[in-house]
Every structure is written in structure tokens, then in C-alpha cells.
Amino acid sequence: MNIGAHVRGGGKLVPSLEAGVEIGATSVQIFTQSPRMWKPSQYAPEVLANYREAQAAHPTITHTFCHATYLINLASPDRELYEKSVACLVHNLSVGRGMGSSGVVLHVGSHMGAGFDSVIRQIAEAFERAFETADPTPAGVKDCPILIENAAGTGGTVGRSLEEIEALISACAHDERLGLCIDTQHLWASGVDYSSVAGTNKLVKEIDRRVGIDRLRCLHLNDSKIELGGNRDRHANIDEGTIGTAGLAPLVGHPSIRELPLLLEVPGGGDGPRAEDVVKARKVVTAGVKLYDASAKPAKTATSSTASKKPVAKKSAVKKPATKRPTTKKPPSKSTAAGRLAVKKSTPKK
């Protein structure tokens, strides 16, 4: 399993790797600039190069994800805000590429009541502009995708369903540089119940059918302060919300998901994920894996049982001829001495 966490980035970036190590995380997510300010953070080329090298050589941190600025709204009807959002996304993607990030996670924004269908084209254009104008990916480095994060469903937020995310990817001609990040709290708040193996299987099939399971690159692992279908973005520490360990386990233990980076975005004690939150997350994944292992056991037992019964059936078939006791001799008559002796000898055997 790969339990990650959102940690502080900092001006030199590399310390974020050690911040992950300190709490036992094996993946990290950072903001490349203040999440609530438009002013971008500037990184010298050597800072980005140092991070790429440190990440590639790190013994325990396997992935780094960047979270795009919260202010971005690619669905805004305000043209000035839209252009600022595109420019901000371009900068976030440039930094992500320079760091060798595994993806830039993005909240697409809100159409502010204009309707989803009316903003599909402008969002697709924003993605296309970002891919074309962001700083190029360094030579020998895997390209950094934009990962659309599902929304909790508040107001006119875009991406509240897999159907909407499918439409955005389709509008970009299924560009391979677009991926998906599933937030467990947002999914729950938008009314998707994955708290059973059956519910999770249904969800995974829908992800694969609409988006492609290969586009799912990571999950934000959070409990929820909001009830199922509450349509609000309110994260809770693991097992301290309305989902709980029992509700999260089927999803994170699923064979298609358990090995993905599972990034904690929980409040912790007020400063984000702690070591104890990582420990709790590991326990949830372990519980989830056991669910699928347990569901596989009956089938194995039945096969084993059937196989073990076959030799018994063969043995009984071999014994059958002995019970027929065919004879060509006429039994001795009870009226004779030999007959009376034979009856006497056979009595103890009964």
C-alpha cells in the first residue's frame, strides 16, 4: 500500500520529502504556491532539478503530486477571472513538469449557475492552452498530467459526477495527459455510496466505463463531516466522520485501487496529516484487503472440498464388488451337520 499525505512545500521544495518521511508517508502532495493567492511562486531551474533528483533517488517517497491553486475557476462566466485562472493553471503545470510531479490535481471550478453544458468548451480550451503553453517537460522525465478532482456537488461546481468528468475528457479528444483524482469525501458528499464491496465494484466499473481506470492516478483519502449526499466539502480525520473505517475499507481495499497513492488531506490536529493519521489509514487499507480476501475464500474452499471428495467416491466404488459376494456353490443345508456348523460360526460376525 502507498499511504501519502499533503505536506508543506516550502521555497526549496526538497524539505517536503522529509516532511513526508517524518509522518511515515510514502507519497506527498504539495501546493506549488499559496492556495489562496494569485501571485505565483518562482522557482529557479536548479531548485526544480534538485527536487527531481531527490525524488527519483528517494528510498521511501515514491510519488509527488502538486495541488493547483484553489482560486482557479475554468468554468467562470467572468472573462477576466477565466484568463487569470488559465494563466495560474499554466504556471502550476510548469512547476509540476519541472519537479517531475506525478500529476497536478485540479478543482475545475464553478459555472455559477450558467449550466455545465455551457462551459464544457471553455474548460476544454483551458486544458489545451495549459498543455501547449506550460514550460516543457525536461528531457527524460515522464510528462505531468492534469488530474481532474471530483467535486462534492456544492452550487455549480464542475466535476460532481463521473459523467461530467467524462464529458470534459471527451471534449479534449481523450487527451492522455488528462487524468483523474478521486476524493473519498467529495464522492460521499455527492451521494456515491461505496461503503460495501458491491457498491465499490459498481463504482470501479463506472470509472472504467466512463473515464478508464488507467486514468485514475491517486485518491484523496478523507473521512467526512457531512452525511452521504450532503453536497458539501468538509473533511474529517479517518474514522472520525460519517464514513468511518467500515465505509472506507471496501473502496481503498479494492484490487484496482489499493496500490494507488492514497493521499491524506485530513485536518489532523489542525496542521494537517500526522503520523497517527497515516497509521489509521494503513489499518483501513488492511481491513479493506481482508474483505476481498474473505470474499474469495468460499470459492477456494468449495473447489478444495469438491476435489477432496473425489478420491472417497473412487474408494467406495472399489469396495462395491466385495459386497456382491457371488458364489457358484450351493450353501450347506441347515439340516446337515456341516450346515449347522456354518450357521454357528457365522453368528459372532453379525
Q: What is the pLDDT of residues 218-240, one digit of tens each?
A: 999 999 999 999 999 999 999 99
Grid cell in block for residue 59? 528510498
Burial class (CB in 10 A: 0-12, 13-18, 19+), 337: exposed
87: domain CATH number?
3.20.20.150
Question: Could you tell me if residue 129 is inside a domain?
Answer: yes
Question: Residue 111: how many CB atoms within 10 A of its CB?
Answer: 23
Question: Could you tell me if residue 348 is inside a domain?
Answer: no
Residue type present at position 181? C
* Cβ(47)–Cβ(39) below 8 Å: no
Percent of the chain past pLDDT 70, that is, above it, reads 84
pLDDT at 297 (0 to 100): 64
Residues 6+ apart with CB under 8 A from 175: 127, 128, 131, 169
CA 288 to chain centre: 11
pLDDT band for position 295 (cuts 50, 70, 90): confident
Residues 6+ apart with CB under 8 A from 194: 184, 187, 188, 200, 203, 247, 250, 251
Question: Could you tell me if residue 314 is inside a domain?
Answer: no
Question: Could you tell me if residue 338 is inside a domain?
Answer: no
Give 233's Cβ-side CA count (13 Å radius): 14
Query: pLDDT per residue over 296-312, tens digit each?
Result: 765 544 444 444 444 44
Question: Could you tell me if residue 113 is inside a domain?
Answer: yes
Grid cell in block for residue 142? 515522464
**pTM for the complete prediction?**
0.84
Question: Could you tell me if residue 339 is inside a domain?
Answer: no
* C-alpha to C-alpha distance for 288 and 293, rounded to whole angstroms: 9
pLDDT band for position 294 (cuts 50, 70, 90): confident
Grid cell in block for residue 176? 492522455
Question: Could you tell me if residue 197 is inside a domain?
Answer: yes
* C-alpha to C-alpha distance for 218 and 345, rounded to whole angstroms: 83
